[in-house]
Chains A and B, each alone.
Chain A
Amino acid sequence: EVQLVESGGGLVQPGGSLRLSCAASGFTFSNYAMMWVRQAPGKGLEWVSGISGSGGSTYNVDSVKGRFTISRDNSKNTLFLQMNSLRAEDTAVYYCAKLMGYASGTYLDYWGQGTLVTVSS
């Protein structure tokens, strides 16, 4: 059974940093691309960052370029999102999701339960 468990969310001040983690199990982690998707309170879904199975290719939505960094440790089956220079508009539930393929160009077939990030003074 595929499981994705996020952690690391919380309250942070504007300009601060936070690191999210996603522990994966139930599939060969290194064979699949992964993604972070966020959902602001009462709003829709927005993809944030994606990474290929090897970690050699990464993708970021324009609004987080230069601030967020996605990475993975295939030896520990774990996905990360380092978030720096956080803004109020980054407040959201952040979901870790598995892509169906090795790289971009595919859909999300499994999602974690999400972790809430709140940016506020």
Chain B
Amino acid sequence: DIQMTQSPSTLSASVGDRVTITCRASQSISDWLAWYQQKPGKAPNLLIYRASNLESGVPSRFGGSGSGTEFTLTISSLQPDDFATYYCQQYYSFWTFGRGTKVEVK
């Protein structure tokens, strides 16, 4: 099974900050990686697919990069609506989610 390791587990930041979340796969998954945002009590929402493709309707301050085993999600300028938990997910071999990164107010 492919394991996904996300870091950090919690990130404290302020509005306007540049935020970077890292996801590492236990083996190469090419670019078969997605990122989701989840707010408390709500379903996850797709942000990025195929490692770097922005889902329609997602603000351009979100960006994804990486291939193979190392991936990053970047928020270029954190907005109040962005405080949430973020998950990476591989879909190279079945599906595996990372454990999540909670972005909280500093």
| Residues of A near any B CB (own CB < 8 A) | 35, 44-47, 50, 59, 95, 100, 104-114
Secondary structure type dominating chain B contacts: loop
Residues of A within 8 A of B94 (CB): 47, 50, 59, 104
Cross-chain pair count, CB within 8 angstroms: 52
Residues of B within 8 A of A112 (CB): 43
Q: Mark B30-50 against chain A: 1 for CB-CB distance below 8 A, else 0.
A: 001010101000111110011
- Give Cα distance in the complex from A50 to B97, angstroms: 15
The reply to whether A111 and B87 form a contact with Cβ atoms under 8 Å apart is no
User: Contact partner of B97 among A45, A59, A114, CB < 8 A?
Assistant: A45
Closest chain-B Cβ to A22's Cβ sits at a distance in Å of: 12
- Give Cα distance in the complex from A110 to B62, angstroms: 19
- Give Cα distance in the complex from A50 to B96, angstroms: 13
The reply to whether B34 and A108 form a contact with Cβ atoms under 8 Å apart is yes
Listed by A's residue number, 29 A-B pairs whose Cβ atoms lie within 8 Å are A44-B87, A44-B99, A45-B38, A45-B87, A45-B89, A46-B97, A47-B96, A50-B94, A50-B95, A59-B94, A95-B44, A104-B94, A105-B91, A106-B91, A107-B34, A107-B46, A107-B49, A107-B89, A108-B36, A108-B89, A109-B46, A109-B49, A109-B55, A110-B46, A111-B43, A111-B44, A111-B45, A113-B42, A113-B43
- Give Cα distance in the complex from A55 to B70, angstroms: 34
- Give Cα distance in the complex from A33 to B22, angstroms: 28
Residues of A within 8 A of B46 (CB): 107-110
Interface centre among B43, B55, B96, B100, by most A CB within 10 Å? B43
The reply to whether B100 and A44 form a contact with Cβ atoms under 8 Å apart is yes
Closest chain-B Cβ to A114's Cβ sits at a distance in Å of: 6
- Give Cα distance in the complex from A108 to B34, angstroms: 8
